[in-house]
Amino acid sequence: MTQEVLPNIKAGDKQVEFAEYCANMCRELSLMAHKQDLSFLSYLLSMASEEAEGVCRASNSKKNA
């Protein structure tokens, strides 16, 4: 699998954009799982969302430093 990088977009920016997307999707899926009483699945998705948000925060910290 090759990594395609769009012109004028740094690879790190694309990574953060993808992490934001993952965080949003995992958060929504976590809520859906919770509504279906799938508590462990909801928990795992919540943890994945927090991990993706951490990637975004770390990247933002580096940019502001």
Q: What is the mean pLDDT of the chain?
A: 86
Each domain of the chain, given as residue ranges in start order, spans 11-64
Report pLDDT digits (tens) over 16-31: 999 999 999 999 999 9
* Spans in the chain with pLDDT lower than 70: 1-11, 65
| Predicted local distance difference test score (pLDDT) of residue 35 | 98
What HEC string does 1-65 produce?
Answer: CCCCCCCCCCHHHHHHHHHHHHHHHHHHHHHHHHHCCCHHHHHHHHHHHHHHHHHHHHHHHHHHC
